[in-house]
C-alpha cells in the first residue's frame, strides 16, 4: 500500500515538471509579445510625431515663403528697402520667442531687403510737405489730402482761366476790328490789281489790232498808262492810310491793355474812414478830388479787423484830399462806423490816372493853362497831341475859324472825328467841373465825433 502511494506520488511529480516548464515558456512568450507590442507602439508614436513635425515644417516653410514673397512685393511697390530688425526695444531669439530686452546675448533675427517703416514715414512726411498738405498716418489719408489739394488748385486755376478768358475776349474783339480793316484794305488792293490786269489785257489786245489803228491804239495806251499811274498812286495812298489806321488801332489796343492793369481787383479796399459821427450819419474818407472821385459815388463800408460789410454810404461833398460820406445804412447799430474802417466800390479805382487831351476853346473860370494845372494836380497827364494813348478828351467851346470871321463847330474838326474813330471817351468840361475846385472847403465842416 505504501509502495503504491509512493508510485503515485512519483507519477504525479513526473507530470508536474512538464506542466511547469510549459507555464514558464508561456509566461516568457506572453512577456516577449507584450514587450514587442510596447516597442511597436512607441515606434508608432515616434513615427506619428515625426510625420507631424514634417507637416509643421512644411507648413512653416510655406508660411515663410508667403511672408518672403509679401516682403519682396511690398518692397517693389514702396521702395525704401533696407534691413528690418524689428520694433524698437524688441528682440527675437532663435527659438522665435518675443522678449522685451536689450540683452546683447540674445540673438536678433532680421529681414534683409524689407520695407523700412521709418523711411516710408519720412517719405510720406516729405511728400506731404512738398504737396502743401498736413501729414497723415496712412497712405490712403495722405492721398485723399493730396487729391483735395489738387481739386483746390484746379478750382483756383479755373477761376484764373475765367478772368483770362474775359480779357482775351476783349482783346479778340479789338483784333477782329483790326482784321476787318485789314480785310477791307486787301479787298481794295485786289480790286485795283484786277483793274490793272484788265488794262494790261486791253493793251495786249490793242497791239493785235490792224495797222491802221496802231496810232489810235498808241494814243489810247498812253491815256490808259496815265490812268494806271494815277490809280496806282491812289492805291498806294489808300494802302498807306489803311496801314496807318491799323497801327493806330494796335496802339489803341495796347493803351487799353495797359489801362486795365491799373484797375483795382474786386473786393480790394479803395480808401479808409478818417472820422465818423454816428449821430449825424456822416463820415470823412481819405479820397477826394485828386483821386477823381465824383459826388454820388456809393461805397460799401467794411470792418478793417474782420473784413465784413458794416454798412454803406454815398459821397455828398468833395475836398482836395478827402470827401464827406453820408451813411445810408448800418447793419448793426451796436457796431457803428468808426475811423479805420475801409470803403470799397468794385467799379471805382483811385490808382487809375487819365491821359487827357483838351479839344476846343477854354475860357473863364477855367482857361486852358489853369485847367491843365488843375488836372495834373489830380494825378492826370495832359497831352498836347491827340494819340491812341489818350483815354479822355475834354471838349470845350467851338474854335475860331481860320479867317477869324466866326466859329467852326467843334464836331466838324478833324481832331474830333479822329477821337471818334479811335473810340476815345469824350466829355464836356461840365462833367468834371466838380473835381476842379481851387481849394479845400473850410475846416469847420469837419465831422465831430
Per-residue model confidence as pLDDT tens digits over 66-116: 766 776 676 666 666 677 766 766 665 545 555 544 555 544 566 776 777
| Residue 316 reports pLDDT greater than 90 | yes
pTM: 0.35
Q: In 3D, which of 417, 352, 406 has the Cα closest to residue 380? A: 352
CATH topology identical between 271-344 and 355-445: no
CB within 8 Å of 210: residues ≥ 6 apart: none
- What digits encode the pLDDT tens for the residues 415-449? 899 888 888 888 888 766 655 654 444 333 334 33
Domain ranges (residues) in the chain: 116-261, 271-344, 355-445
Where residue 328 falls among pLDDT bands split at 50, 70, 90?
Answer: very high
CB within 8 Å of 401: residues ≥ 6 apart: 407, 408
| Interatomic CA distance for residues 150 and 137, integer angstroms | 20
Q: Could you write out the DSSP letters of every residue in 113-144?
A: EEE-HHHHHHHHHHHHHHHTS---SSHHHHHH
Query: Of residues 112 and 303, which shows the higher confidence score?
Result: 303
| Residue 256 reports pLDDT greater than 60 | no
List the CATH code of the domain at 355-445.
3.40.50.10190
| Residue 343 reports pLDDT greater than 80 | yes
Predicted local distance difference test score (pLDDT) of residue 11: 60
- What digits encode the pLDDT tens for the residues 118-143? 778 778 788 888 878 788 777 788 78
| Interatomic CA distance for residues 113 and 78, integer angstroms | 12
Report, in angstroms and rounded to the nearest whole number, the Rg of the chain calculated over CA atoms.
54
Beta strands in 12-103 (DSSP E): 81-84, 91-92, 98-99
Taking domain 271-344, whether its CATH number is 2.40.30.20 is answered by yes
Copy the grid coordinates of residue 323.
470827401
Query: Of residues 378 and 319, which shows the higher confidence score?
Result: 319
- Contact by Cβ (8 Å): 314, 285: no
Amino acid at each position: 500500500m505504501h509502495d503504491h502511494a509512493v508510485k503515485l506520488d512519483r507519477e504525479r511529480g513526473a507530470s508536474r515538471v512538464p506542466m511547469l516548464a510549459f507555464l514558464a515558456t508561456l509566461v516568457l512568450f506572453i512577456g516577449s509579445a507584450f514587450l514587442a507590442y510596447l516597442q511597436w507602439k512607441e515606434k508608432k508614436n515616434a513615427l506619428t510625431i515625426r510625420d507631424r513635425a514634417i507637416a509643421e515644417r512644411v507648413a512653416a516653410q510655406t508660411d515663410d515663403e508667403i511672408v518672403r514673397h509679401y516682403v519682396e512685393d511690398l518692397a517693389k511697390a514702396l521702395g525704401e528697402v533696407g534691413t528690418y530688425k524689428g520694433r524698437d526695444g524688441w528682440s527675437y531669439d532663435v527659438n522665435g520667442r518675443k522678449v522685451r530686452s536689450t540683452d546683447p546675448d540674445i540673438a536678433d533675427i532680421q529681414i534683409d531687403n524689407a520695407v523700412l517703416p521709418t523711411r516710408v514715414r519720412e517719405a510720406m512726411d516729405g511728400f506731404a510737405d512738398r504737396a502743401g498738405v498736413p501729414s497723415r498716418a496712412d497712405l490712403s489719408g495722405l492721398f485723399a489730402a493730396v487729391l483735395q489739394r489738387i481739386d483746390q488748385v484746379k478750382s483756383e486755376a479755373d477761376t484764373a482761366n475765367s478772368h483770362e478768358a474775359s480779357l482775351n475776349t476783349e482783346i479778340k474783339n479789338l483784333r477782329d476790328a483790326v482784321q476787318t480793316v485789314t480785310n477791307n484794305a486787301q479787298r481794295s488792293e485786289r480790286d485795283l490789281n484786277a483793274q490793272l490786269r484788265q488794262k494790261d489785257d486791253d493793251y495786249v489786245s490793242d497791239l493785235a489790232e490792224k495797222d491802221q489803228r496802231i496810232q489810235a491804239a498808241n494814243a489810247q495806251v498812253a491815256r490808259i498808262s496815265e490812268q494806271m499811274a494815277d490809280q496806282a498812286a491812289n492805291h498806294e495812298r489808300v494802302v498807306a492810310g489803311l496801314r496807318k489806321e491799323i497801327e493806330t488801332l494796335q496802339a489803341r489796343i495796347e493803351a487799353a491793355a495797359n489801362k486795365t492793369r491799373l484797375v483795382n481787383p474786386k473786393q480790394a479796399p479803395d480808401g479808409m474812414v478818417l472820422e465818423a459821427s454816428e449821430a449825424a450819419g456822416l463820415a470823412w474818407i481819405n479820397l477826394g478830388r485828386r483821386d477823381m472821385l465824383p459826388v454820388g459815388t456809393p461805397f460799401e463800408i467794411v470792418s478793417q479787423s474782420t473784413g465784413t460789410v458794416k454798412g454803406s454810404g454815398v459821397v455828398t461833398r468833395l475836398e482836395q484830399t478827402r470827401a464827406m460820406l453820408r451813411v445810408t445804412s448800418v447793419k448793426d447799430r451796436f457796431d457803428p462806423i468808426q475811423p479805420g474802417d475801409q470803403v470799397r466800390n468794385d467799379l471805382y479805382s483811385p490808382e487809375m490816372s487819365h491821359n487827357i487831351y483838351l479839344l476846343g476853346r477854354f475860357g473863364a473860370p477855367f482857361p486852358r493853362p489853369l485847367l491843365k494845372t488843375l488836372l495834373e494836380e489830380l494825378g492826370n497827364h495832359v497831352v498836347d497831341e491827340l494819340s491812341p494813348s489818350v483815354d479822355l478828351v475834354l471838349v470845350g467851346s467851338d474854335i475860331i475859324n481860320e479867317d477869324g470871321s466866326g466859329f467852326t463847330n467843334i464836331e466838324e474838326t478833324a481832331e474830333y472825328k479822329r477821337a471818334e474813330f479811335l473810340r476815345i471817351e469824350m466829355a464836356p468840361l461840365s462833367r468834371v467841373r466838380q473835381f476842379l475846385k481851387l481849394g479845400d472847403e473850410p475846416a469847420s465842416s469837419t465831422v465831430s465825433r
